[in-house]
Amino acid sequence: MRNFWRILKPAFILGGIAFAVGYFGPIYWAPEANQGPLLGIFVTGPLGFVVGLGWGVFRETQRAAREKKSETKR
């Protein structure tokens, strides 16, 4: 269960940052565009979550491989 949270942590962090940039960026740069925040909701937020999830999975598989390698050397 601990590995599950280690994988999801970067997904939530990167997804949250990407969502905030996609949501508040268009409000700041183009306040007259009434559909600007939808970018954060439908594009940058989910995309950031998927990228963060991929990074978390990659990081955990590398960590598990290092632990397995160190166990076999003992």
Q: What does the domain layout of the chain look like in residue ranges?
A: 2-69
Angle at 15 between CA 32 and CA 59, to 5 degrees: 155
- Cβ-based burial of 74 (10 A; exposed 0-12, middle 13-18, buried ≥19): exposed
Q: For the segment 5-49, what is each residue's pLDDT rounded down to a tens digit?
A: 999 999 999 999 999 999 999 999 998 988 989 999 999 999 999
The whole model's pTM is what? 0.89
What's the pLDDT score for residue 59?
A: 96
What's the pLDDT score for residue 44?
A: 97
Q: For the segment 59-70, what is each residue's pLDDT rounded down to a tens digit?
A: 999 999 999 888
